[in-house]
Copies of this chain bind each other. A is one copy, B any other.
Amino acid sequence: MFDMRKTAGVIALGAALTLSSVVGTGATGVANAEPAQPRSLYPASALVLTYGEGEDSGSTPVRRAVTLSCKPTPTGTHPTPDQACAELRSVDGAFRELTARTEPGRACTREWRPVTVTAQGVWDGRRVWYEHTFANPCFKNAVEGQVFDF
Contact = CB atoms under 8 A, between A and B. Distances in A.
So how many copies of this chain end up in the complex? 2
Interface string A101-142: 000001111110101000011100111000101011111010
Given A32-B109, A48-B48, A67 B76 contact: yes
A29 B2 contact: yes
Interface in A1-48: 1-9, 11-36, 38-40, 43-48
Contact of A56 (B17, B39, B63, B67): B17
B21 A7 contact: yes
Given A3-B27, A46-B67, A110-B27, A8 B14 contact: no
Contacts of A77: 46, 69, 75
A23 B3 contact: yes
A107 B30 CA distance: 6
A28 B106 CA distance: 10
Nearest to A122: B65
Nearest to A53: B36
A64 B44 contact: yes
B6 A22 contact: yes
